């Protein structure tokens, strides 16, 4: 089975949520016998690269408007690669992708992973809506990343006849193993117990509520990641005198896993539906950590079951976040129990192998249509 993946960004050093998903999915489906090609855009395209899981082809990005990349050369590249593929796998949202499918889809069997509703750009959404529904109405299958999102998305409900959910899964072997020496150094530097957030610092991550929850808190918090909100958040922490909040910036995969291993719990305060799943939260479950997140009707509360794997609080609520952290901090046995349950849930529901098998079956199904 030859599969063409199409998404706006993908490269060896890109670790956003969708990029991570594609990386783990192509690894899992390659083990099921799929031959994966990934077509993406780049300002300075690299030469095609072949790995054991995928072949990467990049087209030059000519223009970007409202986080949407456009490329004239991608039209030709897509047409050529689609001709060779058995299935085209799209990753939504990306309006340029919708246009390409309608112009060059060539009647190929198609699957779209619906990663997120469009939440912030409401004015542009009104203009884009007809194209979006034309695209979603012409693909063969739509996959949400959690049953929560499938049920709570008005867009997906409109296309319910072709929609289903397949949870995102991770392949732990793609991550480095924790370095015990480094883990011990982290605990010596920041404390035997500290909370950890890992993710891109964007508007929907709810980190300003988390910082508000940290006022006069007795526990350390490490914030890992970079992004457009980084400077604003650092300034807010400084103005609030939060000496127990540490911004570590972007770290490599080894350091991330060391931090995950060393931390007491993983907190993921995203408060808007732009956070459709939460790879950082799932990585915490993979590492057996108790979890704290908000209920926003998406994958965050599918990963983290309240009072089973951690604590789920109302969104945009600093007091609730603080109370959840206090509860875990005051009861290490409860935190340990939640962490063990999170690890078990990861193994039962969120492995890359299970995800790969489900998508391979989906590919075969749409080919038979």
CA triple 286-290-291, angle to 5 deg: 90
- The pairing of strands 54-60 and 49-50 is antiparallel
Q: Which residues pair with 144 in a beta bridge?
A: 114, 165
Q: C-alpha distances in angstroms, 273 versus 111, 120, 200, 249, 296?
A: 22, 9, 15, 24, 6
- The pairing of strands 87-92 and 2-6 is parallel
State pTM to two decimals.
Answer: 0.93
Of 282, 285, 292, 272, which Cα lies nearest the Cα of 229? 272
Helix (H) or strand (E) holding 113: strand 110-114
Q: Going from the N-terminus, what domains does the chain have, and what CATH number goes with each?
A: 2-170+351-368 (3.40.50.2000), 172-349 (3.40.50.2000)
DSSP-derived secondary structure for 212-263: HHTTT-SS-EEEE--STTHHHHHHHHHHTT-TTEEEEES--HHHHHHHHHH-
Query: Which pLDDT value is given to residue 124?
Result: 77
Q: C-alpha distances in angstroms, 160 versus 154, 174, 274, 334, 369?
A: 10, 34, 20, 39, 17
Structure tokens at 214: 């940290």
Helix (H) or strand (E) holding 211: helix 207-213
- As averages over each run of 10 residues, the pLDDT of the chain (369 residues) reads 96 82 97 97 95 97 89 96 97 95 89 90 81 95 97 95 97 96 98 97 96 97 96 97 97 97 98 93 98 97 98 98 98 98 98 98 94
Query: Which pLDDT value is given to residue 109?
Result: 97
Query: Which pLDDT value is given to residue 11?
Result: 87
Return d(Cα 156, Cα 269) in angstroms, integer: 24
């Amino acid at each position: 089975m030859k599969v063409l993946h199409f998404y706006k960004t993908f490269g060896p050093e890109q670790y956003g949520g969708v990029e991570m998903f594609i990386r783990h999915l192509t690894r899992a489906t390659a083990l099921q016998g799929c031959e994966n090609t990934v077509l993406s855009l780049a300002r300075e395209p690299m030469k095609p690269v072949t790995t054991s899981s995928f072949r990467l082809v990049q087209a030059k990005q000519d223009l970007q408007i409202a986080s949407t990349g456009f490329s004239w050369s991608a039209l030709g590249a897509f047409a050529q690669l689609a001709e060779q593929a058995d299935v085209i796998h799209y990753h939504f949202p990306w309006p340029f992708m919708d246009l390409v499918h309608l112009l060059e889809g060539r009647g190929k069997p198609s699957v779209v992973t619906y990663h997120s509703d469009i939440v912030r750009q409401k004015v542009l959404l009104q203009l884009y809506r007809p194209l979006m529904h034309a695209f979603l109405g012409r693909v063969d299958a739509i996959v949400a990343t959690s049953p929560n999102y499938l049920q709570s998305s008005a867009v997906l409900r409109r296309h319910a006849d072709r929609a289903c959910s397949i949870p995102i899964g991770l392949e732990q072997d793609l991550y480095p193993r924790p370095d015990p020496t480094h883990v011990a150094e982290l605990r010596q530097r920041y404390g035997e117990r500290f909370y950890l957030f890992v993710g891109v610092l964007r508007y929907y991550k709810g980190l300003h509520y988390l910082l508000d929850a940290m006022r006069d808190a007795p526990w350390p918090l490490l914030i890992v990641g970079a992004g457009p909100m980084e400077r604003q958040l650092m300034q807010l922490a400084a103005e609030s005198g939060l000496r127990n909040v540490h911004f570590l910036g972007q770290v490599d995969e080894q350091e991330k896993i060391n931090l995950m291993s060393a931390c007491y719990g993983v907190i993921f305060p995203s408060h808007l539906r732009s956070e459709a799943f939460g790879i950082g939260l799932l990585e915490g479950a993979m590492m057996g950590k108790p979890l704290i997140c908000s209920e926003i009707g998406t994958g965050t509360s599918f990963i983290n079951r309240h009072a089973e794997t951690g604590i789920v609080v109302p969104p945009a609520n600093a007091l609730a976040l603080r109370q959840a952290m206090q509860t875990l901090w005051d009861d290490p046995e409860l935190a340990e129990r939640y962490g063990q349950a999170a690890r078990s849930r990861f193994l039962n529901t969120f492995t890359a192998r299970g995800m790969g098998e489900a998508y391979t079956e989906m590919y075969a199904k749409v080919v038979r249509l």
